[in-house]
Amino acid sequence: MSLDIDSHIRHSSRYVGRSVPRREDRGPLTGRGRYVADIKLPGMLEVVFARSTEAHARITGIDTSEAEALEGVVAVFCAADLSDVNTFPDYIPYIGAVRQRPLAEDRVRYVGAPYAAVVAVDRYIAEDGASLVAAGTTYEPLPTVADLDQALASGAPKLYDHWESNCSFDVAPHKPEVDRAFEEADHVFTETYVSQRQTGLPMETRGVVADMVDGTLTVWSSTQSPHMVRTTVALMLGMPEPQVRVIHPAIGGGFGTKTHIYPEDVVVPWIARRLATPARWIEDRMENLVASVHAREQRHDVEVAYDADGTIRGVRCASMLDMGSGEIFMPGTAPVFVTNACITGGYDFPNMEARTIGAVTNKTPAGAYRGFGIPEGAFVMERIIDRVARLTGTDRADLRRRMLLRPGQTPYVMHGGGRLDSGSHTESFERALEMSAPRLEQVRKRHAGDPDVRVGVGYANYVEPTSPSYHLTTGHWGGGDAATVRVDPDGSVRVAAGLSAFGQGAETTAAQLAADALGVSPQDVTVVLGDTERTPYGLGSWGSRGAMMLTGSVLLASERLLDKARAIAAHMLEAAEADVVLEDGAFHVAGSSRPSVSWAEVGTAAWVRVVDLPDGMEAGLETSGFYHPENLQHQLDDTGKINAAASWSNGTHIGIVSVRISTGEVTIEDYIVVHDCGTVINPALVEGQVHGGVAQGIAGAMYEHFQYDPDTAYPRFASFMDYLVPTCAEVPHMEVDHFESPAPEQPLGVKGCGEGGTVGPPAVVAGAVSDALSEWGVDLTECPVTPVAVRAALRAAEANRGGGSGAPP
């Protein structure tokens, strides 16, 4: 984007680039943050959902009479009551249509599927009612499908009678050059890599409050995308969009889980409309673990062609996504495409043939989780490199060096069309190696005397697509956001943006941008987000898009506003527009000693003293901009390729671990991150994103795992006792450094940094532990790396050597 403001801020920013303290902090620090569960309206009723206790079954009867008879229960609604609600749209043509109804009708496909809503005067009684509904529900169990193998087996029980099989999509490009690589290479190995089921797990669960007054339905939702909720709720309830207002109050985290639009987002507003009473539903943690999307469960069957000197000639990878039941809007299918698109990371590696498959199973629907497929791909690529290094006796770091994109090699088009516009791929890796070398020495020394401990190091180099297209994910939306900027008569600035936020500090960022654009201080800027009635359309907060979308839309609107303001000021100064400059928050005639005109004077002229406006000028001082990144593609080109991201951040993670052989316990001793997200608007916020992302990555690398019973598809988890969110004691200290390679085509060169942190840890931990255990030939192919997994790997290694079951002591 070429804006005057862009170069102006690049040269003389006062706030962009600084750790301006957050304006979002005060509420939560003092107990006055307002989250959905804090909203209480007069006469508000509480909703609790009855959820399937079967993984796959026909519902043969729901007896609601006992619940309805309970004192305090107002109503019980089942699918039949919602006949005036539309079906969730199936927008993506190439995946199986699930025709999802807001409440399950006669068939349930996972434990946790909502099939009835109990409305009562308080939550306790609503839960009593839901228990009675559950007791009154009868099922006819159907055979279950608990994993990809079961789903894709011939003759497998089908989840959808109108499908041919459980396969939702299978996209298989063929690349002759990869065939050639396999013919020519010295060696080939095959392997299967697995990434386990996890979830974003925000500390605040989901929640919806709805109220219909004077024909307008107001919905407070803990969502990452209020405008998309509005569009969808209006569609589902058959209402004009202007009569639906969606507000997200403070949000206690989202991490992708709250990008989806869930049945509850539609049913609770429907109840409020139907009963003409405010209604509220707050997800509890037991529901959250089965009723909010899961993610990351993928399997990768790879074939790798390599030469004796370690050169990797070609890779074929079949990436398979376990979609759960698939009953979620937007569908959770996109991450596996992102996995394949990003799998080669920052490596110069075009000879990749990646097939993408998705299948449904009787588990919680899969969806978005911060990282959105990138960690799964990075895991596969880094494990492949380590394997080839080991097989060929090549140094692991050297092999990566040989493969990484070098300075000057960007823009670089990846195997699937992703266009790495810029980056510091080699530089980040070298810097991280430098940082890790002395630490590795220290850790080795520290454990030198302990025969039970081994030390290892693991690497990950990755790319992070930022501000991606939402078309591939939704089949409907695109990839831009709008903002409005207004200067009021007193000279204060108001920015309203379609972006939303759940802790990233978007309000602070928007204020920094507007302050620099308009030459004011951030204190003079009021920021409005997360209310469809007060903000222009935007897609919300996901895909590491916040920083770029805010920058693009706020600067675009600001530049337009500035043009008009300058014209007004020039008129008041009786000068030519071209001679008027904005300095120190006021307009002057360049090089003249005439008094300046302040923003308040310009604002007053625009709105109040319109007599001061130039002849014929329209009054008012409010402008909008819709920012859509220029090179962002939404559809595949003729060759089946696409650059579905506006820019690409990159990074390197290096981790040093110690492993206790006798127990399999793994300790991350040091964790190093060097990342590059282009121009940084607020360093403290970026660092915070890195820390939080890495912690979630470590959660996936070592702790969190949704396990299901293979015979019944029944969840083997119910609480935080079995879904292991890491505490302060499990997350290591992180050393963070960064490069800044500005995005050449984006405003201020901003890229985005929301997700990169999550990408490295699985590859790093598995690589480091395999390195530590290399004397036994251990080479891990899946996460989480638990003490049990480590001991199992050691036992298997020992058994392979014919050493019996007795693993090393």
Partner 1 sequence: MTIIEPISEANVEVTVNGRPHRHRVPARLLLSDYIRDTVGLTGTHLGCEHGYCGACTVMVNGDAVRSCLMLAVQADGAEVRTVEDLAPAGSDALSPMQQAFHDNHALQCGFCTAGFLMTLESVDPAEWRDPERLVELLSGNLCRCTGYQNIVAAVTEAWNAYDGSGGSDDG
Partner 2 sequence: MKPAPFEYCRPSTVDEALEALGSSESSRVLAGGQSLIPAMNFRLTDVSLLVDINRVEGLDAVTCDSGGVTVGAAATQTRVLEDDGAASVVPGLRAALRHVGHLQIRDRGTVCGSLAHADPAAELPAVAVATGAAIDVTGPAGERRIDAADFFHGPFWTALEDGDLITEVRFPAPPPRSVTIVDEICRRAGDFAVAGLVAVIEVDAGAVRSARLVGFGLGGVPTRLQAAEAAIGGWAADHPVVTLTEAVMADTTDAFDDIHAPNWYRGEAVAALTVRAALRALATEEEV
Q: Is 66 in the site for partner 2 (CB under 8 A)?
A: no
* Residue of 54, 147, 204, 704 interacting with partner 1 (CB under 8 A): 204
Q: Which is nearer to ligand FES, 253 or 479 (CB)?
A: 253
Write out the DSSP string of 182-197: HHH-SEEEEEEEEE--
Picked from ligand FES, partner 2, partner 1, none, the partner binding residue 716 (CB below 5 to 8 A depending on kind) is: partner 2
Least distance to partner 1, CB of residue 302, Å:
31
What string marks each residue from 43 to 82 as x (binds ligand FES by CB under 6 A) or -?
Answer: ----------------------------------------
Give one DSSP letter per residue of 521-539, joined into a string. -GGGEEEE-SBTTTS----
Residues 704-723 that bind partner 1 (CB under 8 A): 719-721
Query: Closest by alpha carbon to 229, among 199, 205, 207?
Result: 207
Output the six-digit token pair for 190: 């095959």
Neighbour order of strands in the sheet with 580-583: 580-583, 586-589, 597-598
In the list partner 2, ligand FES, partner 1, none, the entry touching 188 (Cβ below 5 to 8 angstroms by class) is none
Question: Any contact of residue 667 with partner 2 (CB under 8 A)?
Answer: no
Q: Which of residues 481-540 bind partner 1 (CB under 8 A)?
A: 502-505
Report 50-89 residues binding partner 1 (CB under 8 A): none
Task: State the distance between the two ends of the chain, measured CA to CA, in whole angstroms.
Answer: 62
- Which residue in 406, 409, 411, 414 sits closest to 430, CA to CA? 406
Q: Does 655 help bind partner 1 (rule: CB under 8 A)?
A: no
Q: Assess 687 for contact with partner 1 (CB under 8 A).
A: yes
Among 14, 18, 33, 808, binds partner 1 (CB under 8 A): 33
Structure tokens at 414: 């990846």
Q: Least distance from C-beta 725 to partner 1, angstroms?
A: 5
Nearer to partner 2, 33 or 726 (CB): 726
Rounded CA-CA distance 294/111 in Å is: 13
Integer CA distances (angstroms), 110 to 287, 325, 327, 577, in order: 12, 6, 9, 65
Q: What is the DSSP letter of 611?
A: G
Note whether 211 and 272 are within 8 A (CB). Answer: yes
The rounded distance, in Å, linking the Cα atoms of 793 and 437 is 27
Question: Which CB, 253 or 346, lies closer to ligand FES?
Answer: 253
List the structure tokens of 92.
């993506």
Report the partner that residue 21 touches, choosing among partner 2, ligand FES, partner 1, none (CB closer than 5 to 8 A by kind).
Answer: partner 1
Q: Is 203 in the site for ligand FES (CB under 6 A)?
A: yes
Residue nearest to ligand FES (CB): 203
Q: Is 787 in the site for partner 2 (CB under 8 A)?
A: yes
Rg (CA), the chain: 28
The reply on whether position 767 binds ligand FES by CB under 6 A is: no
**If binding is defined by CB under 8 A, does position 729 make contact with partner 1?**
yes
Strand 107-108 vs strand 298-306: parallel, antiparallel, or unpaired? Answer: unpaired
202 binds partner 1, rule: CB under 8 A: yes
Say whether residue 729 binds ligand FES (CB under 6 A).
Answer: no
Determine, following the binding rule CB under 8 A, whether residue 203 of this chain makes contact with partner 2: no
Residues 6+ apart with CB under 8 A from 307: 185, 186, 187, 313, 392
Determine, following the binding rule CB under 8 A, whether residue 94 of this chain makes contact with partner 1: no
Contacts with ligand FES by CB under 6 A: the residue count is: 3
CB nearer ligand FES, residue 257 or residue 344:
257
Binding residues for partner 1 restricted to 282-311, rule: CB under 8 A = 284-285
Diameter over CA atoms, the chain: 95
C-beta of 576 vs 721, nearer to partner 1: 721
Amino acid at residue number 797: A
Smaller CB distance to partner 1: residue 326 or 762? 762
Taking CB under 6 A as the rule, does residue 29 contact ligand FES?
no
Between 213 and 286, name the residue whose CB sits nearer to ligand FES.
286
Interacting residue with partner 2 among 285, 445, 446, 594 (CB under 8 A):
285
Q: Is the dihedral of CA 584, 585, 591, 597 positive or negative?
A: negative
Token pair 């089942």: residue: 78
- Residue 297 binds which one of partner 1, ligand FES, partner 2, none, with CB within 5 to 8 A depending on kind? none
Give per-residue burial for 774-809: e unless 16+ CB within 10 Å, then b. eebebbbbbbbbbeebbbebbbebbeeeeeeeebee
Rounded Cα distance between 608 and 516, Å, is: 26
Which residues are within 8 A (CB) of 376 and not within 5 positions of it... i.e. 6 or more apart? 195, 296, 298, 300, 319, 335, 336, 339, 762
* Residues of the shown chain interacting with ligand FES in the complex, contacts defined by CB under 6 A: 203, 253, 503
Residues lying near partner 2 in the complex (CB under 8 A): 123-124, 127-128, 131, 284-286, 660, 662-665, 703, 707, 716-719, 721-722, 724, 726-730, 786-788, 791-792, 795, 807, 809
Residues of the shown chain interacting with partner 1 in the complex, contacts defined by CB under 8 A: 19, 21-22, 24-35, 37-38, 40, 123-124, 201-205, 250-253, 255, 284-285, 502-505, 684-685, 687-688, 691-696, 719-721, 725, 727-729, 731, 733-734, 757
